[in-house]
Amino acid sequence: MNDDLLHGGALDHMQTAYPNAPTPWVDLSTGINPWPYPVGALPPSAWQHLPTEAALQACRAAMAHAIGAPEAALLLAPGSELLIRLLPTVIAPRTVALLSPTYGDHARAWRASGADVIETADPLAFAGKVDALVLCNPNNPTGMVHERSQLGQALTRQAARNGWLIVDEAYADLCPALSLTPLAGARNLIILRSFGKFYGLAGLRLGALLGPPALLDSLSHRLGVWPVSGPALAIGKQAYADLAWQAETRNQLAAARRRLDKILLDSGLWLVGGTDLFRLVKTEKAQQLWHRLAEAGIYVRRFDYAPDLLRIGLPSDAAAEHRLAAALSL
């Protein structure tokens, strides 16, 4: 299986591999909002000048307010993926229990650091027994969620061991009640947040880590003097402050997810999980279906560890929904 075509987001590789596919392609391979936050004109200073401390603080304040976190516990960064890779340079757990299946960079980063990684479907069973407990909430690709009360209990057990609870909340904007951000700053808690998925602007590269002061200081030194671009700070500030857009978008995504569910179920696929940004389906013919969809110019996500699963993002309009339904009915 070609690794370039295994993961989502490699539309250029798909176009090369399937040159006869009809265009435009329908890219459903990522869990990114297909209706991005409307970016207006930015002040020339956002492009022309180095990012100012005032701009950084303004974006940080807007984000903290939007996600219900103490501002002092929040560190902005150029995307959460970089933070995942940097974390092993500032903490050194010897044993890491990791929810599985989940976003693959977590396991890769901790294994590369030399940690003993335990991949498990029930990571909370390891609370208080490992140096670091890592999970995504909601999870990607299964959509599994852990309630705030469950994670609070896990944090207590990890703290008793002087271990870490690390929660990747890349999709938590969909369901804010699940988030641990009100607890941000606690000594044994690390939270990762992503901007690009819910706001539909993944190319902006904006994310954050929430944690205790010493950890933020160590990461800040690694990120440097200008960790986030001026345009990202300007757009992030505007989007995080737009609470009405956020509420409307949650409703829009939920409605689109319901339409997608109907398409998938009507085609005979087994719906086994997901979020309001993507759905996970199971079929014995997943690899053949992935290839058939690609030939139809529709790009979905497949998995090397689960050849019977496909993850399918939200079509952006009625035409894309129709193309997906037609290709699935063949």
Given a cut of 80, whether residue 265 has pLDDT beyond it is yes
Non-local (6+) Cβ contacts of 164 within 8 A are 91, 93, 131, 132, 133, 158, 188, 189, 190
Position 83 pLDDT exceeds 90? yes
Q: Tell me the percentage of the chain whose pLDDT exceeds 70.
A: 98
Answering whether pTM is above 0.85, one says yes
Residue where the block lists tokens 């300007």: 234
pLDDT at 114 over 70: yes
Dump the DSSP string for 252-289: HHHHHHHHHHHHHHHTT-EEEEEETTEEEEE-TTHHHH
Mean pLDDT, rounded, for 112-129: 97
pLDDT at 140 over 60: yes
| Residue 3 in this model has a pLDDT that exceeds 60 | no
Query: Rounded mean pLDDT of 174-187?
Result: 97
Sequence-distant (≥ 6) Cβ neighbours of residue 215 within 8 angstroms: 90, 91, 190, 209
pLDDT range class, residue 1, cuts 50, 70, 90? very low
pLDDT at 4 over 90: no
**Helix, strand, coil % in the chain, rounded to nearest 5:** 45, 15, 35
How much is the pLDDT for 253?
A: 98
pLDDT for residue 6 is more than 80: no
Q: Distance between CA atoms of 95 and 117, rounded to whole angstroms?
A: 6
Q: What is the mean pLDDT of residues 102-118?
A: 97
> Read out DSSP for 213-254?
HHHHHHHHHHH-S--S-HHHHHHHHHHHH-HHHHHHHHHHHH
Residue-level pLDDT at 8: 79
The answer to whether residues 59 and 204 touch, using CB atoms and an 8 Å cutoff, is no
Q: Return the closest-CA partner of residue 190 out of 205, 171, 168.
A: 168
Q: Is the pLDDT of residue 121 over 50?
A: yes
**What pLDDT does residue 119 have?**
97
